[in-house]
């Protein structure tokens, strides 16, 4: 199946809105990954699933819950508390995976989970050059890199991500100041999903 850039952006916007709903309930998913995203209505509607790992914001992180390639660095530290920013990190990995059509850290295909965890803690991230190149793609690379920040406080909020994903990417080409020039992302259509 071939999915257009707009189709992929629509999926990511829907994913961000689902995460925002969880966060509005003071809840963190803790295992966001593409395997926990379901598609409905001829691949146009995305829903988040697998809520076995959800946790309230204020609870202390006492276990390494989640899938190693998608977990934020602070999730590995037992002295830290989870925040919603750990889901933002995972969201950045998901966006990279959807755009690249590769599994995160594929280059470590036979490595132990602890090896990948140590690399993430050192600041290693998937290679943005692996992503397919689309016109006006730079803002997605910027968003992904912001989501991957080592410092959770430097990651954007999910509401900020929804705001940026809601705009037509061509808006960035004419003027990077979206507040003044942004156009809404167009609705998806049959041409965005070819079988």
pTM of the predicted model, to two decimals? 0.86
Is residue 31 annotated as part of the catalytic site, yes or no? yes
pLDDT of residue 181: 46
| DSSP of 100-122 | HTS-TTGGGTT--HHHHHHHHHT
Domains assigned to the chain: 2-57+65-185 (1.10.510.10)
pLDDT of residue 157: 92
Of the candidates 20, 31, 153, 177, the residue annotated as catalytic is 31
Q: How long, in residues, is the chain?
A: 195
- Which pLDDT tens digits describe the chain residue by residue (195 residues)? 788 888 999 999 999 999 999 999 999 998 999 999 999 999 999 999 998 888 776 666 556 677 888 988 888 776 566 689 999 999 999 999 999 999 999 888 766 777 888 888 899 999 998 887 776 677 888 899 999 999 999 999 999 999 889 877 766 655 555 444 445 566 666 676 665
Determine the Cα–Cα distance for residues 90 and 112; give it in Å rounded to an integer: 19
160-167: long-range contacts, CB 8 A cutoff, minimum separation 24? 161/16, 161/88, 161/91, 162/13, 162/16, 162/17, 162/20, 164/139, 165/9, 165/12, 165/13, 165/16, 166/13
pLDDT of residue 179: 40
């Amino acid at each position: 199946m071939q999915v257009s850039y707009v189709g992929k952006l629509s999926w990511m916007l829907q994913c961000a809105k689902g995460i925002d709903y969880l966060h509005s309930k003071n809840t963190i998913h803790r295992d966001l990954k593409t395997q926990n995203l379901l598609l409905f209505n001829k691949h146009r509607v995305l829903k988040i699933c697998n809520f076995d790992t959800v946790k309230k914001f204020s609870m202390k992180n006492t276990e390494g819950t989640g899938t190693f390639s998608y977990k934020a660095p602070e999730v590995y530290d037992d002295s830290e508390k989870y925040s919603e920013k750990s889901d933002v990190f995972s969201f950045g990995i998901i966006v990279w995976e959807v755009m690249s059509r590769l599994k995160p850290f594929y280059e470590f295909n036979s490595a132990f989970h602890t090896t990948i965890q140590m690399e993430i803690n050192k600041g290693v991230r998937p290679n943005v050059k692996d992503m397919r190149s689309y016109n006006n793609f730079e803002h997605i690379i910027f968003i992904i890199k912001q989501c991957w920040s080592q410092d959770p406080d430097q990651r954007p909020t999910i509401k900020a991500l929804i705001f940026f994903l809601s705009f037509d990417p061509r808006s960035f080409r004419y003027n990077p100041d979206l507040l003044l020039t942004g156009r809404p992302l167009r609705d998806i259509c049959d041409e965005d999903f070819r079988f």
